[in-house]
Amino acid sequence: MARKLATDKVLFAPLVALSLFGCVMIYSASAVSSAQTSGSPYRYLFKQIAALVVGGIAAFLVSRVDYRTFARPWVVYLAYGGAFVLCVFALLQSPINSARRWIPVGPVMFQPSEFLKVALVLLLASQIARKTLASGDPDRAIRPALFFSLAASTVVLLEPDLGTAACYVMLAGVLLWIAGVRAKLFLILGAGAVPLVIVAAFAASYRRARVLSFLRPEADPLGAGFQALQSLIAVGAGGLFGNGLGASRQKLFFLPYPHTDFIFAIVGEELGFIGSVGVIACFAVIAWRGFRAARRAPDAFGGLLAAGATAMLVVQAAVNVSVVLAIMPTKGIPLPFVSYGGSSLVASWLAAGLILNVSQHEVETRET
């Protein structure tokens, strides 16, 4: 009933394009500061390329194995459990920038919460698929889905990393939605989540500052609003066509984290409106092909897996870009494939590998 298809080249192309583009932008954004801090302008570029190689191999392997293998409980629990334990282990490390998100492995800073995203997608897809198939009622999957996603959220909140925690909850929501959980239950859950989000947002003083500065970035242009303002200046200064590749001036210490969370601002400054829209178009293609694969998946697990992985990539991108453009308060979510960060890149490619895997399988009966 299912048939094996070739790799979805339409999906593969923007993934590769974004990854290579990311390397170029990371070099552009980091060369000066890298040269000043480490003596070499290529430090971040080389690390990103290494991660890309690892991510590519991982994605290739993941896409080759029949995805149904990943539905097996030992795979699912090992992945989730392993990533979860590593996140707890990260909490025991000495803080970097007052956050305990990373585990140093030799020269590499390993961020397990990124892998937990993929593991969570895997776990939720298998859990929801099983519960739904067993009972025929997707509502039954709510409880385990909330349990695992909130457990993951709790541990990363301790790092603290609200953005990633919200990402986990978002993934659970998307998968439950795709599975067909009644809309009424979403409204109830959503209503219950609002006070939680507000409490979480204002519990930590830095988050409160972020939210307030988002509401009025000009109020404190040198303090809390500085990052948002510098980001807007970078994007706005790019104009229609940008200052040219490598010609960003905002990367020269005006804009903090120009090669990580705010790389899209440098894209906007150097490549203008055209380049920025190009990046968004790539993610649009990923969304289109990802959800298309989910729709056509031969089984529930495949559909949920593809949908979850696609949501993981696309929603992160949407949030990241929204933060850069000051539509949303600062979160600490990277732009998948483009932002500097080995863990994020490898995890993103793992997710991509899962989508590519599912996309090779298609139900025979097609809708008219």
Partner 1 sequence: MNFVRLGRVRFLAIFLSLWASVVVGRLAELQIAEGSHYRARAQRQQERRIEVSPLRGSIFDREGRPLAVSVEASSVYAICDEVRNPAAAARVLARHLDQPEAAILARLTAKKGFVWLARKVDRGAATALAAEKIPGVHFVTETKRSYPKGSLAANVIGYVGTDDKGLGGLEHFYDSTIRGKPGEIVALTDARRSTYGQAEAPSGKPPEEGASLFTSLDSGIQFAEDAHAKSGVAILLDPSDGAILAMASAPSFDPNDYGRSPGEDRRNRAIADAYEPGSTFKIVTGSLALENSLVTLDELIDTGNGTIRVGNTTISEHDRKQYGSLTLAGIFEHSSNVGIIRVGLRLGPGRLWQGATALGVGRATEIDLPGEHAGIFRRPERWSGLSNAMISMGQEVSVTPLQLARIGAAIANGGRLVQPRLVRRIVHPDGRVDVIVPSPPRRVLSEATARTVRDLLVGVVERGTGKKAAIPGFVVAGKTGTAQKAGVGGYQRGRYVSSFVGFAPSDNPKIVGLVLIEEPRGARYYGGDIAAPVFARVVSQALGILRVGPEEQRLPETLLASTSTEKIHYPEGIIPASVHSTVEPSAGPLLRPVEPPSAATPDGIPSAIGLSARQALALLARNGLAAQFEGSGFVVAQDPAPGARVRTGSICLLRLAEPAAAPEAPGKESRDRRAEELASPPPAP
Map tokens 């600062």 to a residue.
330
Shortest CB 3 distance to partner 1, Å: 15
The dihedral region occupied by 182, where left means phi > 0, alpha psi between -120 and 50, and beta the remainder, is beta
Shortest distance in whole angstroms from residue 247 CB to partner 1: 11
Q: If DSSP codes are grouped into helix, strand and coil, which group holds residue 330?
A: coil
Helix or strand or coil: residue 107? coil
Q: Are 217 and 232 in contact (CB under 8 A)?
A: yes
DSSP lists the bridge partners of residue 3 as 362
Site membership for partner 1, residue 2 (CB under 8 A):
no
- According to CB under 8 A, which residues from 347 to 366 bind partner 1? 363, 365
Verify binding: residue 16, partner 1, rule CB under 8 A.
no
Q: What gap in Å lies between CA 132 and CA 144, rounded to an integer? A: 12
Q: How far is the CB of 256 from partner 1 (least distance, A)?
A: 9
Report which of 251, 254, 245 is spatially closest to residue 272, judged by C-alpha positions: 245
| Residue 343, helix vs strand vs coil | helix
Using CA atoms, how far residue 154 sits from 51, 84, 91, 185, in Å, is 27, 10, 12, 22
Q: Which of 163, 303, 329, 332 is the binder for partner 1 (CB under 8 A)?
A: 303
CB 269 → partner 1: shortest distance, Å? 8
Least spacing, CB of residue 294 vs partner 1, in Å: 5
* Binding test (CB under 8 A) with partner 1, winner from 23, 87, 118, 234: 234
- Asked if 174 is part of the footprint of partner 1 (rule: CB under 8 A), the reply reads yes
Which residue in the set 68, 207, 208, 295 belongs to the binding site for partner 1 (CB under 8 A)?
Answer: 295
Figure out which of the listed residues 217, 272, 329, 341 binds partner 1, where binding follows CB under 8 A.
272
Which of 19, 164, 250, 316 touches partner 1 (CB under 8 A)?
A: 250
Q: How far is the CB of 295 from partner 1 (least distance, A)?
A: 5
Residue 135 sits in the site that holds partner 1 (CB under 8 A): no
* CA–CA gap between residue 228 and residue 206 (Å, rounded): 14
| Contacting residues for 39 by C-beta, under 8 A, at least 6 apart | none
Closest to partner 1 by CB, 268 vs 342, is 268
Among 90, 103, 122, 318, binds partner 1 (CB under 8 A): 318
User: DSSP of 62-85, one letter per residue?
Assistant: HHHS-GGGGGSHHHHHHHHHHHHH
Both structure tokens of 57: 């191999």
Binding mask 194-233 for partner 1 (x = CB under 8 A): --------------------------------------xx
Among 113, 149, 260, 276, binds partner 1 (CB under 8 A): 276
